Amino acid sequence: MSHELRTPLNATIGFSEVLVDRMFGELNEKQEEYLKDIYSSGQHLLSLINDILDLSKIEAGRMELEAADFDLPSAIDNALILVRERAGRRGITLGHEVDERLGQIWGDERKVKQVLCPTRSSSRRRGAGSTSAPR
């Protein structure tokens, strides 16, 4: 099942990346903006598909962590990029504060980002109609 979901999505992500890199000619500003949205949305959808497939692994007792050193503040920044852009279009300002003492940690970076996903969506809901969402 994962192959059937990931292959067309990876093609869409790859094509949008090739176009943004202007391999087939120049783009106007609006085209570039839309292609970046397609790329970001494709990456987000791929992450959701991976999350769903991970749930099936958890249920089957086959989940494995891919632990490594990674920069926690950077992981948080990356997790917020897509949501911050969409929230900005709705007049919602998202921000975050990370203690400056945090840096490299040992863990599964993708799993950490998965933990941040519910926080992102609930912050968006709580912040709807206001100028800033909780941090």
Residues β-bridged to residue 70? 105
In the chain the beta strands, taken as DSSP E runs, fall at 68-71, 104-107
The three-state secondary structure class of 128 is: coil
Q: Render pLDDT for 75-115 as a digit per residue (tens, 0 to 9).
A: 888 878 767 777 788 888 888 888 989 899 999 998 888 77
The residue extents of the domains of the chain are 1-64, 65-135
The correct answer on CATH 1.10.8.10 for the domain covering 65-135 is no
| CB 103 within 8 Å of CB 72 | yes
Name the pairing type of β-strands 104-107 and 68-71.
antiparallel
* Structure-block tokens of residue 110: 């993708």
Q: Average pLDDT in the 9-32 region?
A: 94
| CA torsion through residues 131, 121, 94, 21, sign | negative
